[in-house]
Each structure stands twice: as structure tokens, then as C-alpha cells.
Chain A
Amino acid sequence: NAGVTQTPKFRVLKTGQSMTLLCAQDMNHEYMYWYRQDPGMGLRLIHYSVGEGTTAKGEVPDGYNVSRLKKQNFLLGLESAAPSQTSVYFCASSYGGPPDTQYFGPGTRLTVL
């Protein structure tokens, strides 16, 4: 039982490049979330999903897209990376919506040059 896994762990992009971050969970959770963590700002919600085939915007969705084609996977895409998207990205999942406990992945450190 791996919990929540994220791929890749680290990535460096040039401005304008695109990439996809993959989150996978093996706990049969309905809800999945993408957060970004920046120094002094805590975690901010980018997008979330309440079930397979559904997505919704969070607090800071601009510049990101997501897809939830399979229940266990939640993909975060950056179509045209910008330096402001340099951050640590965390995926989380929960059985139900809040206040159900969210389980977090180990994070992806992304640098955009």
C-alpha cells in the first residue's frame, strides 16, 4: 500500500515549456487535490476533484489544467511554464470531502528558469 505517490520528484523547466505532474493513490479515495507550497504562504489549493471525470478550480488555478480520467490518478498540467510557477507541488487525496483527513504525497519540486 503505497498511499499517495507523485512523479517526478524534481524537474527544471525553461519558460514556455510544458509538463505534466502525475499523482496516483491506491486507497480508493474519491477526492483528490493539487496544492502548491511557497515560502511564507502555506499551501494553496490549485484544483481538486470530487470523483472520476470531475475537476474544479481552487484558490490559484490560473496557468494550470487538470484531468481525472481514472479514479486513482490526478494529473496537473502546465501548458506554458512561467517563473512564477516555481514551487513545490503536493498532491493529496481523501475518502470524502473535508473534514475527512487528506493524505499527502511527498511533493514535486519544480523550478522554472
Chain B
Amino acid sequence: AQSVTQLDSQVPVFEEAPVELRCNYSSSVSVYLFWYVQYPNQGLQLLLKYLSGSTLVKGINGFEAEFNKSQTSFHLRKPSVHISDTAEYFCAAFIQGAQKLVFGQGTRLTINP
């Protein structure tokens, strides 16, 4: 079965430090990949998505992600985080042939001053 795995349930970092949130997917067919952010008490908001082309995808708020087909990964990175980045981050995949997004379990990013 197709699945999305976020390897860390919680990631604490200090303000202005770099961060990487890890995401792996399992699929033997073409896949589209997404990162969503959920700020406290809000709905999900799209950060970025990979459909095709360049494997390095830039999103909003200074985030970027790299699609690695050989490692079936789509890790999210930011070189310097801010307190306002405190949120839960969800990786999701749409596998061609299916009719739904499959979400990972979420990673809670906590920024310490």
C-alpha cells in the first residue's frame, strides 16, 4: 500500500538555527508530493509541492524541499527558523491511479528562543 512516513513526531530547534523535517513515501509509480503547514487552531495551508521538473522546490516563508527519487524522500528544509514557524507540518503524496492525498502523521516543530 502507498504510504507517507514522517520520521520525527517532534522537532525542537533554537531560533535562527536550520531545520530539516524528514518525509519518505512508498510508491512504485509516479507521485506528486506536498508539504502543508498547520498553525495552532487553524486549517492546513500549502507550503510547496513537487509535480515534475527541478527536484528542488521553493515554497512560502523561506521553506524548500528536495525530491529524491532514489531514496523516495521529500525532506523539508529552512536555513534559519523564526518563532513564527512554530506549527505542525504534514507531508502528503498523491499517487497516480489513486484519487486521494495520503498524509503523513505530522511533525510538530517547536522553536525555542
Binding site for B on A (CB under 8 A): 4, 40-45, 48, 56, 58-59, 90, 92, 97-99, 101-102, 104-107
Binding stretch for chain A, among B11-19, B41-49, B61-69, B73-81:
B41-49
Q: List 9 A-B contacts (CB under 8 A).
A: A42-B103, A45-B100, A45-B101, A48-B99, A92-B44, A97-B99, A98-B100, A104-B43, A106-B41
Q: Do A98 and B46 touch across chains, with their CB atoms under 8 A apart?
A: no
B51 contacts A by Cβ under 8 Å: yes
Tell whether, in the assembled complex, residue B100 and residue A48 are in contact, meaning their CB atoms are under 8 Å apart. Answer: yes
Chain A residues with CB under 8 A of B41: 106-107
Residues of B within 8 A of A (CB): 4, 6, 9, 32, 34, 36, 41-46, 49, 51, 90, 92, 94, 99-101, 103-106
Interface residue SS majority, chain B = strand
Contact present for B103 and A99 (CB under 8 Å): no
Main secondary structure of the interface of A (DSSP, over half): loop
Assembled-state Cα–Cα distance A102/B106 (Å): 17
Does B43 contact A90, Cβ atoms closer than 8 Å?
A: yes
By beta carbon, the residue of chain B nearest A42 is B103
Q: Which of B9, B44, B49 contacts A99 (CB 8 A)?
A: B49
Alpha-carbon separation in the docked complex, A18 to B12 (Å)? 41
Q: How far is the CB of B21 from chain A (nearest CB, A)?
A: 14
A43 to B44: give the CA distance in the assembly, Å: 10
| Contact (A99, B100) CB under 8 Å given A41-B105, A90-B43 | no
Which 3 interchain pairs have the tightest Cβ spacing?
A104-B43, A42-B103, A98-B94
